[in-house]
Amino acid sequence: MAGALEGLDEFVCYDEFWLSKDMENMGYFFEYCGDYCKEILNDSAFELDKERFIESFMKSDCRALMEIGHPTLLSQAAYDTVRKFIEVDNGNNIESFRLREKQPTYRHMQLYWVGWMYAYIHFISKERSKIIIEKLPLKEMLLDYKVGHEISKEAYYRKVAYLFEQREGTGKGRLN
């Protein structure tokens, strides 16, 4: 899969046609990745470190291909995206994502909202997910859920873009 990324001098984001599908797919991926991994591995005792898994996915070749509009990856179910990420980016070995500590407690659909917003931020900013998650860490997004899910995605994006503009002077960069 990574070979498809070679030779791309400039980043090209997918067409708006795919936005709602990507937002939905990322939402389900984030919310249910633990359940999907148990099923894929056929191991009901496997406990996934969701945050490490999600952070790795956001920096993966699989996600990069989705960002540029790979039709198979964008059109498949989130379950299949998790499976593809495990197979291709991790060589069918996700032992490194086994939970070693107590999993944080997430609110119902909190992870869904985070994935959904990351996809929206990616599309509007035309920034790569691996850059977005560095500038807007998963833990920060999880904290933002409390207020963020109560406002429109457009308003939340404006807030995030404004914060990055303010951080620009600190060397942390801005979103777009």
**Residue ranges of the alpha helices (H) in the chain?**
19-41, 50-58, 61-67, 71-75, 78-84, 110-125, 129-135, 138-148, 153-167
Give the model confidence (pLDDT) of 78-98 as tens digits. 999 999 999 999 998 999 999
The distance of Cα 80 from the centroid of its chain, to the nearest Å, equals 15
Q: What is the CA radius of gyration of the chain?
A: 16
- Structural contact between residues 126 and 176, judged by C-beta atoms closer than 8 angstroms: yes
pTM above 0.85, yes or no: yes
Q: What is the pLDDT of residue 154?
A: 94
The full set of domain ranges for the chain reads: 12-170
Q: Which helix (H) or strand (E) holds 17?
A: none
**Structure confidence by residue, pLDDT tens digits, 28-57:** 999 999 999 999 999 999 999 999 999 999
Q: Is the pLDDT at 26 greater than 80, yes or no?
A: yes
| Average pLDDT over all residues of the chain | 89
Checking 166-172 for CB contacts under 8 A at 24+ apart, the result is: 172/135
